[in-house]
């Protein structure tokens, strides 16, 4: 069996999804968790379908901001500083069961080699040149802004702000290496047009396309900084007087994390180590079977703040190096605090670890997915998080608790009505057309559910997906309420209990990517065997072996009710 699974994994579809690598200048917040969660659900869904999936995340550890913060925090070397800070991101992933295959750090030696390789390819192909750079630079954003986007700071004399991020800019003149971004406008436009799903959602695609079409010319991009100013970075190949610009360095992580540039170009199976197993820091070896093909399935999930870097700069670097482009860039909105983007630098953040410690990590996961849409910004309210938990307790938890009560027998119902049983559900309600009809439409809903999961997860429409899940849970509760199994003869009682427990069992198996820990508690409560928690067992009646002790456990509940914290 294990051998067969291994073979299946090798030949089944392999795909790759990425979060941005985060800047570890302060602790992560709900926004970082959100990007990771969108990826995690997608990745876990692939695994549930027994497809091979790679999910990479990590930290962006070079640059002036880190250099300055490290100095002001009294560290003699920035590496020691980031060695401490990146652990907060690993910890966040661990608390929330973010099941990545590699946590990449831009200080990892294999990544540093890849950045140099990417540079050399762009240089060899004629897309890098040395020149003089004058302009307005924002340390905070690690980027230059054109004159048209610079204004005087109304609250500080002699200081200037850029109009895009509102951060301070200073005028600088220095020698830099430049990337010939100006040569890529037409190629980018044609790629976006030929691949309608390359930028998703469609509103973002149109926005970026319009920006490219209305810009007369893209300006060449400065991609290095003098080492005298930027000490903490990767030296440009053959010229230690310059350090590689952080974005050129950071974006390359997406290639390094699945085996690197050479293996992608040659499409040779690559054994990659340092694929930490979800925060445990156990180094594992992982084989990327066909790196080039895997790379072409890559989906980058990013916040809208870094859309330009991923849809304009990144594809241009790749084209310049002769590398294929990833499949898609998925752009999501921001979580706000009082109408302003939650951000580490501003400190206006909600601490996800604190929320998880009281409400539970899966409740936070569910809440973020249910209350967000890619196209919109989200508003985090603890009151609503608390209500989410309450709903899960009172609707889903209660459905399970009721059916596991001492009046009923889940095991008997399952044996009677599963595939290996003999009775058909509707048969026992022949004389009650209303209940019979309700059962029929409920079964239809259940049968459609896997396809709904497939569609909504592919389109990152998690709030719509969870709406569908609630619809089925509510329908099952109504069935119990109207069917009154406690008043019925044994076959009819068992039919209602069976269908209700099947609803919970099937939905829980499918919801494992969404709530990995809570799913285990819900499946444990009805004694579903470990090996039957897979996609093979999501058909109605496909598991005839669960429910053994369900009605003998007394009042054991998978999810306890807790009060709203602030009102205490
Ligand atoms: N408020 C937010 N809502 C949603 N995602 C966010 C939010 N803040 C950060 N992210 C995620 O993190 C990425 C940016 O990472 P970064 O480390 O720069 O976060 P940040 O909080 O904006 O940091 P800083 O304030 O230092 O700029 C975004 O593209 C997105 O994926």
**Does residue 425 surpass a pLDDT of 60?**
yes
The mean pLDDT of 554-559, rounded to a whole number, is 80
345 in a structural domain? no
- 310 ligand 1 Cβ < 6 A: no
User: How many other CB atoms are found less than 10 A from the CB of residue 343?
Assistant: 17
Whether the Cβ atoms of residue 302 and residue 20 lie closer than 8 Å to each other: yes
- CA 440 to ligand 1 center in whole angstroms: 47
**Does residue 9 surpass a pLDDT of 70?**
no
Rounded CA separation 51/55 (Å): 13
Query: Which amino acid residue places its CA nearest to atom 31 of ligand 1?
Result: 303
- 345 ligand 1 Cβ < 6 A: yes
- CA 115 to ligand 1 center in whole angstroms: 23
- pLDDT over 90, % of the chain: 81
Residue in the structure block whose two tokens are 């429409």: 461
288/419 same-domain check: no
Q: How does pLDDT run across 217-235, given as a tens digit for each residue?
A: 899 999 999 999 899 999 9
Q: Which atom of ligand 1 is nearest to the CA of 20?
A: 31
Q: Which residue has the higher pLDDT, 347 or 303?
A: 303
Rounded CA separation 111/104 (Å): 8
**Does residue 566 surpass a pLDDT of 70?**
no
268/399 same-domain check: no
369 in a structural domain? no
Rounded CA separation 143/139 (Å): 7
In testing the pocket of ligand 1, which one of 204, 314, 344, 349 has its CB within 8 Å of the most ligand atoms? 344
pLDDT of residue 171: 92
Rounded CA separation 408/498 (Å): 10
Whether the Cβ atoms of residue 161 and residue 167 lie closer than 8 Å to each other: yes
360 in a structural domain? no
151/213 same-domain check: yes
The mean pLDDT of 23-32, rounded to a whole number, is 93
112/237 same-domain check: yes
- 305 ligand 1 Cβ < 6 A: yes
Secondary structure letter of residue 310 according to DSSP: I
549 in a structural domain? no
Q: Domain range for residue 183?
A: 2-333
Confidence of residue 275 (pLDDT cuts 50, 70, 90): low
- Sequence-ordered list of residues with C-beta below 8 angstroms from that of 87, at least 6 positions apart, any chain: none
**Does residue 567 surpass a pLDDT of 70?**
no
**Does residue 1 surpass a pLDDT of 50?**
no
Query: Which amino acid residue places its CA nearest to atom 14 of ligand 1?
Result: 22
105/239 same-domain check: yes
- Average the pLDDT over each of 7-16, 95-104, 192-201, 314-323 and give the range with the smallest value: 7-16
550 in a structural domain? no
**Which token pair is 191?**
């790629």
- Sequence-ordered list of residues with C-beta below 8 angstroms from that of 118, at least 6 positions apart, any chain: 248, 252, 255, 261, 317, 321
Query: Which amino acid residue places its CA nearest to atom 8 of ligand 1?
Result: 31
Whether the Cβ atoms of residue 378 and residue 335 lie closer than 8 Å to each other: yes
Q: How does pLDDT run across 282-303, given as a tens digit for each residue?
A: 666 778 889 999 999 999 999 9
- 247 ligand 1 Cβ < 6 A: no
22/154 same-domain check: yes
311/410 same-domain check: no
Rounded CA separation 480/497 (Å): 8
pLDDT of residue 455: 98
Rounded CA separation 272/120 (Å): 22
359 in a structural domain? no
Q: How does pLDDT run across 426-467, given as a tens digit for each residue?
A: 789 989 999 999 999 999 999 999 999 999 999 999 999 999
Confidence of residue 26 (pLDDT cuts 50, 70, 90): confident
Q: How does pLDDT run across 374-405, given as a tens digit for each residue?
A: 999 999 999 999 999 999 999 999 999 999 99
Of all residues in the chain, what percent are helix, strand and coil, respectively (each to 5)?
50, 15, 35
Q: Which atom of ligand 1 is nearest to the CA of 343?
A: 21
Give the closest residue to 109 by CA, choosing from 279, 300, 274: 274
- CA 32 to ligand 1 center in whole angstroms: 6
Number of domains in the chain: 2
Give the closest residue to 457 by CA, choosing from 37, 45, 3: 45
**Does residue 568 surpass a pLDDT of 50?**
no
Rounded CA separation 213/362 (Å): 43
The CATH number assigned to the domain holding 460 equals 1.10.730.10
301/429 same-domain check: no
Compute the mean pLDDT over every residue in the chain, rounded to the nearest whole number. Answer: 92
pLDDT of residue 11: 43
Length of the chain: 568
pLDDT of residue 422: 65
Rounded CA separation 353/356 (Å): 5
**Does residue 408 surpass a pLDDT of 50?**
yes
CA 389 to chain centre: 21
Q: Which residue has the higher pLDDT, 491 or 5?
A: 491
Cis ω before 201 (30° cut-off from 0): yes
206 in a structural domain? yes
> Which residues, in sequence order, are bridge partners of residue 53?
15
Rounded CA separation 64/440 (Å): 63
- CA 343 to ligand 1 center in whole angstroms: 6
- 32 ligand 1 Cβ < 6 A: yes
SS3 552: helix
- Average the pLDDT over each of 388-402, 533-547, 550-564 and give the range with the smallest value: 550-564
562 in a structural domain? no
The mean pLDDT of 244-268, rounded to a whole number, is 95
Whether the Cβ atoms of residue 299 and residue 339 lie closer than 8 Å to each other: no
The mean pLDDT of 356-365, rounded to a whole number, is 97
pLDDT of residue 281: 58
The mean pLDDT of 164-183, rounded to a whole number, is 92
322/385 same-domain check: no
- Sequence-ordered list of residues with C-beta below 8 angstroms from that of 484, at least 6 positions apart, any chain: none
The mean pLDDT of 333-338, rounded to a whole number, is 92
Handedness of CA 311, 313, 318, 322 (dihedral sign): positive
The per-residue b/e assignment along 177-193, b for 16 or more CB within 10 angstroms, e otherwise, is bbbbbebbbeebeebbe
128-137, 166-175, 498-507, range with greatest mean pLDDT: 498-507
301/399 same-domain check: no
26/106 same-domain check: yes
In testing the pocket of ligand 1, which one of 21, 31, 141 has its CB within 8 Å of the most ligand atoms? 31
Rounded CA separation 408/43 (Å): 38
Give the closest residue to 242 by CA, choosing from 258, 228, 256, 255: 228
- 303 ligand 1 Cβ < 6 A: yes
Rounded CA separation 519/193 (Å): 41
Q: Which atom of ligand 1 is nearest to the CA of 342?
A: 1
304/437 same-domain check: no
pLDDT of residue 278: 46
Could you write out the DSSP letters of every residue in 115-178?
Answer: HHHHHHHHHHTT-EEEEEEEEEEETTTTEEE-GGGEEE-TTSTT-EEETTT--EEEEEEEEEEE
In testing the pocket of ligand 1, which one of 18, 343, 375 has its CB within 8 Å of the most ligand atoms? 343
- CA 278 to ligand 1 center in whole angstroms: 21
């Amino acid at each position: 069996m294990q051998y067969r699974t291994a073979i299946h994994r090798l030949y089944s579809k392999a795909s790759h999804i990425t979060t941005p690598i985060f800047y570890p200048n302060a602790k992560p917040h709900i926004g970082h968790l959100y990007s990771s969660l969108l990826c995690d659900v997608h990745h876990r869904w692939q695994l549930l379908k027994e497809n091979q999936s790679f999910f990479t995340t990590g930290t962006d550890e070079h640059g002036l901001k880190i250099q300055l913060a490290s100095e002001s925090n009294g560290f003699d070397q920035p590496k020691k500083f980031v060695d401490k800070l990146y652990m907060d991101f690993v910890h966040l992933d661990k608390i929330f069961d973010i099941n990545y295959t590699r946590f990449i750090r831009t200080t990892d030696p294999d990544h540093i080699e890849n950045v140099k390789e990417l540079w050399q390819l762009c240089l060899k192909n004629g897309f890098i040149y040395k020149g003089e750079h004058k302009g307005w630079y924002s340390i905070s954003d690690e980027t230059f802004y054109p004159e048209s986007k610079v204004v005087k700071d109304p609250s500080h004399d002699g200081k200037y702000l850029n109009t895009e991020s509102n951060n301070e800019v200073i005028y600088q003149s220095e020698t830099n290496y430049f990337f010939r971004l100006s040569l890529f406008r037409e190629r980018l436009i044609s790629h976006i047009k030929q691949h309608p799903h390359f930028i998703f959602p469609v509103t973002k695609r149109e926005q970026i396309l319009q920006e490219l079409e209305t810009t007369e010319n893209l300006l060449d991009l400065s991609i290095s900084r003098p080492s005298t100013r930027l000490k903490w970075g990767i030296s440009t190949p053959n010229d230690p007087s310059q350090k590689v610009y952080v974005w050129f360095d950071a974006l390359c992580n997406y290639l390094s994390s699945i085996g690197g540039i050479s293996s992608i170009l040659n499409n040779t199976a690559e054994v990659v180590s340092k694929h930490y197993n979800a925060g445990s820091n156990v180094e594992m070896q992982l084989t990327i079977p066909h790196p080039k093909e895997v790379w072409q399935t890559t989906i980058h999930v990013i916040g809208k703040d870094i859309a330009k870097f991923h849809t304009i700069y990144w594809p241009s670097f790749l084209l310049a190096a002769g590398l294929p482009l990833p499949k898609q860039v998925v752009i999501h909105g921001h979580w706000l605090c009082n109408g302003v983007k939650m951000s580490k630098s501003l400190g206006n953040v909600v601490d996800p670890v604190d929320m998880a410690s009281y409400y539970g990590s899966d409740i936070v996961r569910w809440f973020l997915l249910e209350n967000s849409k890619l196209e919109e910004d989200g508003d985090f309210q603890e009151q609503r998080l608390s209500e989410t938990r309450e709903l899960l307790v009172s609707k889903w938890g209660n459905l399970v608790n009721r059916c596991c009560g001492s009046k009923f027998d889940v095991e008997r119902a399952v044996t009677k009505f599963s595939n290996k049983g003999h009775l058909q559900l509707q048969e026992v309600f022949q004389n009650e057309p209303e209940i019979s009809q309700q059962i029929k439409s409920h079964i239809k809903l259940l049968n459609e559910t896997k396809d709904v999961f497939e569609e909504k997860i592919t389109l990152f429409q998690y709030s719509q997906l969870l709406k569908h899940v609630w619809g089925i849970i509510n329908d099952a509760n109504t069935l119990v309420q109207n069917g009154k199994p406690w008043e019925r003869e044994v076959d009819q009682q068992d039919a209602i209990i069976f269908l209700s427990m099947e609803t919970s069992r099937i939905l829980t198996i499918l919801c494992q990517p969404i709530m990995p820990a809570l799913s285990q508690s819900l499946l444990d409560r009805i004694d579903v065997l470990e090996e039957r928690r897979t996609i093979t067992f999501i058909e109605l009646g496909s598991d005839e072996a669960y429910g053994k002790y369900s009605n003998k456990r007394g009042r054991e509940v998978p999810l306890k009710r807790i009060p709203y914290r602030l009102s205490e």
